[in-house]
Structure 1
Amino acid sequence: MSQPDKMGRFIEAMKTVYGPFDELSSDNANDWIPPDNPGAGGHRGRYLWTDAFGVVNFITLFKETAKPKYLTLAKRLVETVHDTLGRTRDGAKRLDGATDEEPLVGGLRIGKLDAAGSDGDGQYHHYLTLWMFALNRLSVAAGERDYNDLGIQLARAIHPRFLVHCLSGGVKMVWKISMDMKSVLVPSEGHLDAATGYVVYKLLQETASKQGHRNGVLKQEITDYWNLMSRKGSLSPGTDMLDLGMGLWMCHIWQDEPWAIKFRSKALPKAEELLDGSSAMMQRSASRRLAFREFGTCVGVTCCDASEALQDRVEDLLAFWEKHMDSSDGDDDLKPISRVMYATGLVVGAFRRGYLEDDGV
């Protein structure tokens, strides 16, 4: 597929989530309000994971088209997420501890449709670190350090809430906490949460240093994550398509570090097996698969500059879902997350380290 064709499909996929934004003038972009219908699929139209991809994708559009309005849309989406997911579900007040001056001190809600229950609202570490990455990319693309500072604000606020001191004297991470960050909802540890924390926090810190202030601002937090991810068996790639893909994406950001080289060497062969046309996964019907999870693998493989043969398998996977995505996700809540991640699978753009100017590599 040619690059112009990919960009056309990229825009069309994004429009199914964020409306006909490509028709906006530069002036109208300043007043744009991200729609809650179709929206990102979450509570009050916002879902943190989906909108994180949305922000980075708008930055990609800005770089690919040189149209400033797309950078404006990224900023407007950030503002809307902070004013929706940074508040209680009724929108009456900011989350505990947050203020208008420090809007992310209370973290950010996931945006789940239900307030409670097994799939209820709360805060996920891996969603929050992805949002920090989006803020960092916006800071670099716009040349405005306030967005990276917001990422640091969020990083410092959530870090002690997800780390739990055990009776044995050790420290572990938890997977999900309550909306007010006062209680643990899921005590198990996210597979790559510590490593992703290390990667993103280090990126925030590096950017702050390049922007001329706050050297070593996240030094202790980065050390904590390093200690957690260095435990035996903590960095083995899994076989889940999304987990594997986001792991590859994560390690490409610091690709020359020994742990990242080792992870990549183990993960890419797994990706080759999973994406082989004869694999059990690829032989399943679309109705028994989740598109967005498979697009995660597409993103990770592409960011890692994998072999041409493996990249061809990514192209085959995208082509498969182009035929089946409408029928498989219908009007359910997975449509927005599938569409934004499909767009990124087509053009990884700002998800790739080094894509933005002054990126340091």
Structure 2
Amino acid sequence: MASLSHHGLRQLRTIVCLVPRNLFPNHYNSRGRHITHKQIMSQPDKMGRFIEAMKTVYGPFDELSSDNANDWIPPDNPGAGGHRGRYLWTDAFGVVNFITLFKETAKPKYLTLAKRLVVTVHDILGHTRDGKKRLDGATDEEPLVGGLRIGKLDASGSDGDGQYHHYLTLWMFALNRLSIAAGEREWNDLGIQLARAIHPRFLVHCLSGGVKMVWKISMDMKSVLVPSEGHLDAATGYVVYKLMQTTASKQGHRNDVLQQEINDYWNLMSRKGSMSPGTDFLDLGMGLWMCHIWRDEPWAIKFRSKALPKAEELLDSTSVMMQRSAARRLAFREFGTCVGVSCSDASEELQDQVEDLLQFWGKHLDRGDGEDDLKPISRVMYATGLVVGAFRRGYLEDEVD
């Protein structure tokens, strides 16, 4: 999953905005810990904050008419915070969040905005940095055969541009959600096109005869930039590729359109020790999100049973991290845990901990001075943390097996 270095982010100072809490009578939880009930945000309150968070990245889109939405160009300033205003991870959240808005409000313009954002990302991150040509191998007929750039601000260097597997699979998920929400197979087909193109580039054969994954490859997909494996890259590949294949089957494709790739990921994730949940907020949260999609499979049940207690420990008000000031924490990573827990069958106590965390960050994000580098990713993931919506399987119609 994404680490701080993935985003090229420096830990920034967050200005504290103190807002009095609304306190209710104290009591003890099932563990005997003294806790305090706080006022819970209503769904309308959450949707209001959801929209405001998205507007800080994508501008006053809520003011657009349906006709204007058809011509909307996602802003590049502030934009998603990457090269020419686009960053693949952030915009993947943006697409899914627009789909959530479409579902929650029944306003078709939000589905239009999701499509417009997808087209813009493909136009920018599917081209070379100078914008003069598509990435190697891509054509107008097959625009994603060359993959999609990360969107790093720098072209090269230790935190330069390239392609990340976990960003690409998250984008495939966004395309799949758009396909289902719109009832249009072309978006899932694009995800499959991308999946087939990048799969052999991230799997390398070892001298020992085995196969392993790599974490980062070059923009043209011809060289490996970081040879280490992403912690849950294989599992996420399995989950998302299987999801796209299932959707494709329902949409009229042959049943095994991605089966070989799915088998490859399964073999990799079945290695001993490869499926242990991490203790990093983002890694743990995205792991919970990933496994909820196939929640009834034995590996997912086992992963969730280990991950949820870890989430409880991380989010406990007495934990080391929760005792730190906002200036010493990274909001977007903690929102990853919020998303994962909200997509899981978590206990009421754990859900309350997520609510507390969102209220904590809501107060600090209201100011956000000095967080320019972090702002886009923090805001879109905050929105998702408030209302996971289309990130949760079963939220959209006609998708549950």
TM-score by length of 2: 0.89
Q: Give the distance between the partners of 1:42 and 1:329, measured in 2 at CA.
A: 19
Q: Give the distance between the partners of 2:386 and 2:350, measured in 1 at CA.
A: 15
Do structure 1's residue 233 and structure 2's residue 304 form an aligned pair? no
Per the TM alignment, residue 360 of structure 1 is displaced from its structure 2 partner at its CA by 1.8
Q: Give the distance between the partners of 1:318 and 1:138, measured in 2 at CA.
A: 27
Per the TM alignment, residue 107 of structure 1 is displaced from its structure 2 partner at its CA by 0.2
Per the TM alignment, residue 305 of structure 1 is displaced from its structure 2 partner at its CA by 2.6
Do structure 1's residue 342 and structure 2's residue 388 form an aligned pair? no
**What does residue range 313-332 of structure 1 map to in structure 2 within 5 Å?**
313-327=353-367, 330-332=370-372
Query: Residue 34 of structure 1: which of 47, 56, 74 is its match?
Result: 74
Q: Give the distance between the partners of 2:141 and 2:246, measured in 1 at CA.
A: 24
Where does residue 3 of structure 1 map in the other structure?
A: 43
For this pair of structures, how many residues does the alignment match?
361
Q: Give the distance between the partners of 2:173 and 2:370, measured in 1 at CA.
A: 30
Q: Give the distance between the partners of 1:268 and 1:15, measured in 2 at CA.
A: 32
* 8 Å Cα contact 1:198/1:225 also seen in 2: yes
Per the TM alignment, residue 324 of structure 1 is displaced from its structure 2 partner at its CA by 1.5
SS in structure 2 of the partner of residue 281 of structure 1: coil
Instruction: Give per-residue Cα distances to partners, 1:101-143, cap 9 Å, x unaligned.
Output: 1010000000000000111100000000000000000000000
Q: Give the distance between the partners of 2:299 and 2:200, measured in 1 at CA.
A: 24
Question: For structure 2, which runs of at least 5 residues remain unmatched after alignment?
Answer: 1-40
Per the TM alignment, residue 326 of structure 1 is displaced from its structure 2 partner at its CA by 4.7
Structure number with higher relative contact order (C-alpha < 8 Å, ≥ 6 residues apart):
2
* 8 Å Cα contact 1:194/1:225 also seen in 2: yes
Q: Give the distance between the partners of 1:190 and 1:331, measured in 2 at CA.
A: 27
Among the aligned pairs, what percent are the same residue?
A: 91
Instruction: Give per-residue Cα distances to partners, 1:185-204, cap 9 Å, x unaligned.
Output: 00000000000000000000
* 8 Å Cα contact 1:13/1:342 also seen in 2: yes
Q: Give the distance between the partners of 1:326 and 1:314, measured in 2 at CA.
A: 18
SS in structure 2 of the partner of residue 214 of structure 1: coil
SS in structure 2 of the partner of residue 255 of structure 1: coil
Q: Give the distance between the partners of 2:295 and 2:325, measured in 1 at CA.
A: 35
* Compared CA separation, residues 192 and 280, structure 1 to 2 (3 A): same
Q: Give the distance between the partners of 1:329 and 1:223, measured in 2 at CA.
A: 47
Per the TM alignment, residue 325 of structure 1 is displaced from its structure 2 partner at its CA by 2.3
Q: Give the distance between the partners of 1:267 and 1:184, measured in 2 at CA.
A: 31
* Compared CA separation, residues 84 and 320, structure 1 to 2 (3 A): same
Q: Give the distance between the partners of 1:116 and 1:79, measured in 2 at CA.
A: 25
Per the TM alignment, residue 332 of structure 1 is displaced from its structure 2 partner at its CA by 2.1
Where does residue 68 of structure 1 map in the other structure?
A: 108
Tell which deviates more after alignment, 264-273 or 329-338: 329-338
* 8 Å Cα contact 1:112/1:121 also seen in 2: yes
* 8 Å Cα contact 1:329/1:335 also seen in 2: no
Q: Give the distance between the partners of 1:274 and 1:302, measured in 2 at CA.
A: 15
Query: Residue 216 of structure 1: which of 256, 261, 275 is its match?
Result: 256
Q: Give the distance between the partners of 1:8 and 1:252, measured in 2 at CA.
A: 27
Q: CA RMSD in A?
A: 0.8
SS in structure 1 of the partner of residue 72 of structure 2: coil
Per the TM alignment, residue 329 of structure 1 is displaced from its structure 2 partner at its CA by 6.3
Instruction: Give per-residue Cα distances to partners, 1:66-102, cap 9 Å, x unaligned.
Output: 0000000000000000000000000000000001110
Q: Give the distance between the partners of 1:318 and 1:214, measured in 2 at CA.
A: 43
Q: Give the distance between the partners of 1:36 and 1:261, measured in 2 at CA.
A: 41
Where does residue 218 of structure 2 map in the other structure?
A: 178
Q: Give the distance between the partners of 1:354 and 1:305, measured in 2 at CA.
A: 13
* 8 Å Cα contact 1:177/1:183 also seen in 2: yes
Q: Give the distance between the partners of 1:117 and 1:329, measured in 2 at CA.
A: 28
* 8 Å Cα contact 1:14/1:340 also seen in 2: yes
Instruction: Give per-residue Cα distances to partners, 1:159-200, cap 9 Å, x unaligned.
Output: 000000000000000000000000000000000000000000
Query: Residue 193 of structure 1: which of 224, 233, 247 is its match?
Result: 233
* Compared CA separation, residues 68 and 107, structure 1 to 2 (3 A): same
Where does residue 10 of structure 2 map in the other structure?
A: none
* Compared CA separation, residues 329 and 295, structure 1 to 2 (3 A): farther
Q: Give the distance between the partners of 1:324 and 1:233, measured in 2 at CA.
A: 38
Instruction: Give per-residue Cα distances to partners, 1:294-336, cap 9 Å, x unaligned.
Output: 0000000000031111000000000110111255563421100
Where does residue 17 of structure 1 map in the other structure?
A: 57
* 8 Å Cα contact 1:286/1:328 also seen in 2: no
* 8 Å Cα contact 1:287/1:328 also seen in 2: no
Q: Give the distance between the partners of 2:374 and 2:208, measured in 1 at CA.
A: 41
**What does residue range 278-293 of structure 1 map to in structure 2 within 5 Å?**
278-293=318-333
Higher helix share: 1
* Compared CA separation, residues 175 and 154, structure 1 to 2 (3 A): same
Where does residue 243 of structure 2 map in the other structure?
A: 203
Bigger radius of gyration: 2
Instruction: Give per-residue Cα distances to partners, 1:191-248, cap 9 Å, x unaligned.
Output: 0000000000000000000111232000000000000000000000000000000000
Per the TM alignment, residue 344 of structure 1 is displaced from its structure 2 partner at its CA by 0.1
Question: For structure 1, which runs of at least 5 residues remain unmatched after alignment?
Answer: none
Q: Give the distance between the partners of 1:225 and 1:26, measured in 2 at CA.
A: 42
TM-score by length of 1: 0.99
Q: Give the distance between the partners of 1:44 and 1:112, measured in 2 at CA.
A: 9
Q: Give the distance between the partners of 2:186 and 2:97, measured in 1 at CA.
A: 20
Q: Give the distance between the partners of 1:326 and 1:81, measured in 2 at CA.
A: 28
SS in structure 1 of the partner of residue 161 of structure 2: coil
Do structure 1's residue 305 and structure 2's residue 345 form an aligned pair? yes
SS in structure 2 of the partner of residue 164 of structure 1: strand
